[in-house]
Amino acid sequence: MGDFNKQTKINKQASNDGSSGTAVAFSSVADAKNYYYTAKEQAVFDTWCDTAQWAVINDGDGDATWLKVTMDFAEVGEADSWHSALDALTGELADHFATLSNIATHTPSIEESSDHIY
């Protein structure tokens, strides 16, 4: 089991105008993963990450709208392969985002975090 290039990302829903509409709240990790990622993107995590742990976390208002993932890779360089595989699906992600129920008021974003799950 590797622990190369351990990283944590937090998927968030940023308000487009600062006030209108509501972010989607999640009752499970599966629901949050399906909101932020397509099935093919989730498969990329499964293929390239040695370990990936997910958690729904609360936003600044205390609502469960963010998805956090901490991952590492078994071999040096696999993080680059993982990232390239996700980049290859960029068009699919744009199509997926267009179907989100609150896309008119919120845009998904990803931030780096040093606060790892494991």
Q: State the CATH number of the domain containing residue 42.
A: 3.30.70
* Cβ neighbours, 10 Å, residue 110: 12
Does residue 28 belong to any structural domain of this protein? yes
**Confidence category of residue 30, pLDDT binned at 50, 70, 90:** very high
Band (19; pLDDT cuts 50, 70, 90): low
Cα–Cα distance for residue pair 105/113, rounded to 1 Å:
25
Strand 66-73 vs strand 51-57: parallel, antiparallel, or unpaired?
antiparallel
Q: Tell me the two tokens of residue 75.
A: 């071999």
Q: Give the domain extent around 50.
A: 4-113
Percent of the chain with pLDDT over 70: 96
Query: Where in 1-118 does DSSP place strands (E)?
Result: 4-15, 51-57, 66-73, 106-113
**Residue 35 domain-assigned (yes or no):** yes
* Residue 14 forms part of a structural domain: yes
> Is 78 inside any structural domain?
yes
Per residue in 57-97, pLDDT (tens digit) is 999 999 999 999 999 999 989 999 999 999 999 888 889 98
Question: Residue 99 domain-assigned?
Answer: yes
pLDDT tops 60 at residue 105: yes
Number of folded domains that form the chain:
1
In a domain, 63, yes or no: yes
- Alpha-carbon distance of 11 to 4, in angstroms, equals 22
Is residue 118 in a domain?
A: no
